[in-house]
Structures are given as C-alpha cells and as structure tokens.
C-alpha cells in the first residue's frame, strides 16, 4: 500500500469519523454565535448613530475584524486551537494504544503512513477553520450590507494601520476576509500537524490534546506579559493573537507569522521522523 492508498484510508477514517463532525459542529456553532453577536452590536451602534455606516457592515461585523470589541470572537479564537486537534491529531497515539498499528505496519510503509496521516491532520484542521470563518461571514452578510469601511472611522472600528491586512480592510474588504481565512486555516493546519508529532513523546491521548493547548495559551499570556513589562511594541509571537490580528495593543507581522508557520512545520517534521523510526522498534 503506497502513499495514495494510505492517504485515502486516513482521509476516510478522519472525515467519516464522529470526532470530525463534533469538532466541525462546535466550531461552526461558535462561529454562528459570534456572527449573531456581531450583527446585534452592529444594529445597536446603528441605532445610536445612523451616520456610523462602517459599523453597519458585514465586513466590520466579521469575527476577525470584530475581536477588539466583541466577546464571542475572542472565545472562538482561544478555543479553535483545541477544537482542530480533536478530529485526528490524536490518531497515531490512539492506534498504537489499541494495537491497530501492529496490524497495518506490515502492509503500509511507515514513511507513507506518517506522511498521509500528517496530510489529513493538516487538511482537517484547515478545513474546520476555513468553514467556521466562512459561515461567520455568511451570517453577517445575511443581515448587514457589504459596505466597505472607511478609514476616517478607524478609531471606532479599532483596525489601525499597524493591524495586519488593514490596507485590504479599507480598500478591498473581501480580500481581507479571504486573506485572514487562508492564513488562519494554514496556521491551524500546521499547529494540528505539530501536535500529531507530539505523539512521539506523549503516551496518553488526553494529555496529547490538553497539554500542547495549555502550553499555547500560557505562551500567549507570557508573550503579552514580556512585551508589556519591557514596554516594547514588538510583533506578537503567538498564533492566538495573530489569528485575530485586530488587537489595539498587539502588532502582528507577516514575517513573524511566516516564521511561526515554518517553525511549527519543522518541529512537526522532526517529531514525525521520530515517530517513523519508533515504528521500527
């Protein structure tokens, strides 16, 4: 059985599994709730000031652009790194614990198996992320006009020139939506693949999901604390803030995000190589 056949098998196991459906439902449910909150806030501001047209727009109500002033979008981006791990990031450790890997190791090249599993983990996490972003935008678009925000209302919107992709937000907002959706999907794909690699050093399925997520959250607060204590306005170095990209006190830098992405992939590759070698033992 080669890579293609192994990929087909892993994809079937993941996308037909209940945990993928559970994760998708939770992510989309949170996205819908965040979308409703954004719409309600938009109508609230419109009733207070009918001339505040930028706030009465699907683009400004979208959860990425709505993070500085809304609760549920922030909750969504804090929980998303855990949600995308549930479908398949634990699968290698689960198969080893159940003894399934012993049954297939003689029929599947360990390299092809790890590569196929990593591909499916990446795609499943990216797909859940992308669908949640799209659904949230659709919810906002059903109730609000697709009005391009104006830069003159930047202090109310909270998306300043330092914010990631702010130029697109005020000129081509649909590209802003697409850019953040693509970037966040790729980041979550790399993150889930990294956690798959952590199977090399974790022997428990629950701890495999929980500890990396908790470490990510702790790192986010540590990163923020260091910048605040040192009074340095440096780019954030954590994917939770970078996925939001609209915090007033946090500056996301495309180069730093690219470095984060590369580091996650490199670490995932090294850990997965260790997994492949462990199969031999």
Q: Cβ–Cβ contacts within 10 Å for residue 276, how many?
A: 17
Residue 96's pLDDT is what? 60
Rounded to two decimals, the pTM is 0.91
* pLDDT 10s digits, 132-179: 999 999 999 999 999 999 888 887 788 888 888 999 999 999 999 999
How much is the average pLDDT of 35-46? 87
**251 has which bridge partners?**
235
Cα gap 54→61, rounded to integer Å: 9
- How does pLDDT run across 4-28, given as a tens digit for each residue? 878 888 898 899 989 999 999 999 9
Q: How far is CA 275 from the centre of its chain?
A: 25
The DSSP secondary structure of 138-165, one letter per residue, reads HHHHHHS--PPP-GGGHHHH---TTSTT
Question: What is the 8-class DSSP label of residue 198?
Answer: G
């Amino acid at each position: 059985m080669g890579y293609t056949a192994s990929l087909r098998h892993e994809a079937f196991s993941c996308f037909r599994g209940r945990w993928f459906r559970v994760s998708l439902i939770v992510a989309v449910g949170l996205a819908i709730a965040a979308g409703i909150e954004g719409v309600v806030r938009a109508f609230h501001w419109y009733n207070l000031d009918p001339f505040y047209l930028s706030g009465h727009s699907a683009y400004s109500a979208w959860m990425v652009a709505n993070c500085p002033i809304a609760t549920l979008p922030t909750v969504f981006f804090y929980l998303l790194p855990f949600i995308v791990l549930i479908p398949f990031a634990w699968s290698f450790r689960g198969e080893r614990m159940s003894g399934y890997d012993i049954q297939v190791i003689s029929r599947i090249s360990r390299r092809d198996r790890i590569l196929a599993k990593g591909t499916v983990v990446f795609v499943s996490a990216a797909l859940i992320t992308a669908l949640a972003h799209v659904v949230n935008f659709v919810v906002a678009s059903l109730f609000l006009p697709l009005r391009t925000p104006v830069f003159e209302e930047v202090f109310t919107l909270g998306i300043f020139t330092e914010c990631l992709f702010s130029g697109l937000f005020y000129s081509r907002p649909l590209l802003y939506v697409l850019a953040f959706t693509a970037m966040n999907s790729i980041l979550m794909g790399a993150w889930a693949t990294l956690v798959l690699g952590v199977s090399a050093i974790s022997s428990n399925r629950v701890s495999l999901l929980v500890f990396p997520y908790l470490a990510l959250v702790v790192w986010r607060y540590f990163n923020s604390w260091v910048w605040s204590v040192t009074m340095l306005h440096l780019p954030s170095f954590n994917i939770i803030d970078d996925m939001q990209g609209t915090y007033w006190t946090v500056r996301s830098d495309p180069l730093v995000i690219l470095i984060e992405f590369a580091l996650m992939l490199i670490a995932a590759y090294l850990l997965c190589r260790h997994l492949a070698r462990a199969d031999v033992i």
